[in-house]
Structure 1
Amino acid sequence: MVHIYFLDDIEARKWLQFVSVHPLGAELHSYIQFVSEEGIFITVEEQHLNDVHRLLSDVFYTFLVEEKLRDGLEQAIREKFLFEEQEEVEAILDIAASIVEGEMKLGSSNGFEEAKAAIAESIQVVLTEEKSFSFESIATFRLKGFFESLEHYAGLAIDEYKLEQDYQNFIATLRDFLNKRQSQLRTIHLVHQESFSFFDESFRKLEKEDLTRMMDRRLLGGYPIYIDSTALAPLISIAPERLYVYTDDAEDGLIQTIRRVFEERTIIRPIQSFSRTLI
């Protein structure tokens, strides 16, 4: 008989949910007993030893990834990098979890394979000696390196979070600059293909000399993030009341930045609609 301890009944029931969806869960269900406030008791019979080992190894690995990973990441964010504000911690945690998920899908994270092997080895010892144990005991003695490795993901997430914060501040600054500008042209039609072409409300093409004349030079220096001079800086300088953007790549980074700066002034349309407009 193997006895598995949990922090509380809620955690034990979550663990049992992973058992229920495992391919061997139904077959071995009768050997697994949940006792409130005591944990899980598993009857180990010789003929089912390999199946029980596979079940417990898989379930504890899933339990690690699904239930304990975010806790480990949050601990690294708070204790290693000293973030305290809950909103910041949650934002960084979401980014870190996404990074980890991406690496797992690509199969590029050796740390998870090592953790899986360590869990399997621990379960083998437990079943052989029929010991009592808990996930915390496995984590402490077998997964210490894994949880320490989560600091790497937390650090990557913090870097990404800070870049996003800088970007949001940058957008807010440009939006404020735009809102203080007097509009030089009521409407701009911006065509995005390999490059950007500007047209006024009468669909007259604005040449480079026109854009240079209307450009506010303050936008070309003094900002921590580079301001694109081919589209973004001229647009903010002109400060149109209505901006039509014709593109077949609405997810392009610069298009997204323009959209965020100009907000409700912006109307995105496909390239084809610009061609129809000129007919």
Structure 2
Amino acid sequence: MIAIHFEQEHDCKQLFSQLTQYMQKYAAYGLGGVVRAEGDDTIILNYEHKYINFYDSFHPLLSSVLTDYVISTKEDEWLLDIIENMFYFTDEQEQAQILTVARSILEGDRNDLPQMKPFFNRREFIYHAFSKHLEEETTFYYEPFLTFRLRDYGEMLIDCVEIAIDEYMLEQEYQNMIEDFRQFVQSKRSKLDMVYVVHDGSFTFYDDHFRRMTREELLFHLQDDLVFEQEVDVEDMVISPLVSMVPNRVHVFSDDPDHGVILSIQAIFQERMKLFPLKAYEQEWS
């Protein structure tokens, strides 16, 4: 028998319901046992010693259920507390956006950045913490465990929020830049009627006669106050010289329509831009 004690009645009720469902689900696989509530703050788990070894069956099941319960009921609450009280973001909309980024980091959806990887195993981390401290024939105190045994997990969440805030701020800067560039091309007179952009691993500009534009031409059109690609050679810039040219139309040839630069061009030029597959360029101009 193992008893799990809670200070919060709602935690006791919710986990009791989940454990009951799991016990019923796995009863068909030979996990004999009964879950019962003792008052409003304690769950008693009785398992059948005769047939089942606690550490081979109920122990990993209970550790897994408790892990899922912490993530589903506590993680967002703790993340929001860190966002507001450690990093002082009090606007609810900003909090929600930072929380969304933090969740994506924890779920492994932002693995394009190497510094994100340590957060992907947080479920395993919590599981091992429960597994280490759950013993048979004893009472397990839930809230003290969260306070004293998951401190490293709390530090992990702080680091996660810090990265999420950096990503959020970068996204805000990007959105502001896109809006500024959109307003610029809408308000300025077009310098060129057509600019072709060919994306075949790198980006190349062509004028309306489909003549490749030289470095000197790009520098001639480039406006210093529109440059945001810092420490990048003009030949490797895309957005800044394209916006500086204020073309009336932009035709982009690419087989990667979801490329970040292409999406940015689309967001800035909107209906002025048309996207074609790369083979259309090769067939027409090669």
TM range (shorter): 0.7 to 0.9
The corresponding residue for 1:122 is 133
CA distance in 1, matches of 2:265, 2:191: 17
CA distance in 1, matches of 2:171, 2:231: 14
- Tell me the SS of whatever aligns to 2:275: strand
| Offset, 1:154 | 0.8
CA distance in 1, matches of 2:67, 2:118: 17
The corresponding residue for 2:13 is 12
| Offset, 1:123 | 1.8
Check if 1:33 corresponds to 2:42. no
> Match for 1:89 among 95, 103, 117?
95
1:118 maps to amino acid: A
Q: Is the 8 A contact 2:16 2:36 kept in 1?
A: no
| Offset, 1:6 | 7.1
CA distance in 1, matches of 2:105, 2:76: 12
- Tell me the SS of whatever aligns to 1:61: helix
Q: Is the 8 A contact 2:221 2:245 kept in 1?
A: yes
The corresponding residue for 1:46 is 49
The gaps in structure 2 that reach 5 residues or longer are: none
The corresponding residue for 2:189 is 182
Check if 1:219 corresponds to 2:222. no
Return closer, same or farther for 1:215/1:9 CA change in 2, 3 Å cut-off. Answer: closer
The corresponding residue for 2:73 is 67
Note the alpha carbon deviations across 1:143-180, whole angstroms, 9 max, x for none.
23322331111111111111111111122222222222
> Match for 2:243 among 236, 241, 245?
236
Return closer, same or farther for 1:11/1:75 CA change in 2, 3 Å cut-off. Answer: farther
| Offset, 1:188 | 2.3
Q: CA RMSD in A?
A: 3.5
CA distance in 2, matches of 1:217, 1:68: 49
Q: Is the 8 A contact 2:19 2:35 kept in 1?
A: no
CA distance in 2, matches of 1:18, 1:239: 63
Q: What TM-score, normalized by structure 1, do the two folds share?
A: 0.79
Check if 1:154 corresponds to 2:152. no
CA distance in 2, matches of 1:111, 1:99: 11
> Match for 2:268 among 227, 247, 261?
261
Deviates more, 1:105-114 or 1:242-251: 105-114
Note the alpha carbon deviations across 1:208-237, whole angstroms, 9 max, x for none.
5544444444434xx596787443233212
1:115 maps to amino acid: I
Give percent identity, aligned residues only: 28
CA distance in 2, matches of 1:132, 1:199: 70
- Tell me the SS of whatever aligns to 2:274: strand
The corresponding residue for 2:84 is 78
Deviates more, 1:43-52 or 1:69-78: 43-52
Number of equivalent positions: 273
- Tell me the SS of whatever aligns to 1:43: strand
Q: What TM-score, normalized by structure 2, do the two folds share?
A: 0.78
> Match for 1:172 among 172, 179, 203?
179
